[in-house]
Amino acid sequence: MADGERLICLAGELEEGARGVRFPIGDAVNGFAIRFRGKVRAFVNRCPHMGTELDWQAGEFFEESGLYLVCSTHGALFEPLTGYCVAGPCRGASLEPLQVREREGRVTLDREESGPNIDNETRR
């Protein structure tokens, strides 16, 4: 693993359109990673509408069809590849993306590229 990266999970833990992996990114702030259409994506686990976490049970981010991420609080639907809200009270807003990489059987968070929500404690 390169400097500035942190292991999130093994690549095999993320199955297509299935359960995601939650991980801490700061004080009381979590991120999550999912796999959709063969690509790993990660976002801050916070709905742009009310700031609540999306998963209705730990790691459960997809709605029944497996085509969208869903906010458990108000039912907003998000495109899994972009985080763009296509339906619900935050329509037109987006989840905050986190930069992740998949290589050598691992999924890592690029702490240098993942925005302001990763505090200095997490960067160490």
Sheet of 85-87: strand order equals: 69-70, 77-78, 85-87
| 119 three-class SS | coil
Confidence of residue 121 (pLDDT cuts 50, 70, 90): very low
Q: Note whether 26 and 118 are within 8 A (CB).
A: yes
3 state DSSP class of 62:
strand
pLDDT band at 117 (very low <50, low <70, confident <90, very high): very low
> Is the predicted pLDDT of residue 45 greater than 80, yes or no?
yes
pLDDT tens digits, 53-111 = 999 899 999 999 999 999 999 999 999 999 999 999 999 999 999 999 999 999 999 87
Helices (H), the chain: 120-123
What gap in Å lies between CA 25 and CA 121, rounded to an integer? 9
pTM: predicted TM-score of the whole model, two decimal places? 0.86
How high is the pLDDT of residue 120?
Answer: 36
Write out the DSSP string of 102-124. EETTEEEEETTTS-TTS-HHHH-
CATH architecture of 5-123: 3-layer Sandwich (2.102)
* Cα-to-chain-centroid distance, residue 111: 14
pLDDT of 7 higher than 90: yes
Kindly state the helix (H) or strand (E) to which residue 29 belongs, with its residue range: strand 29-36
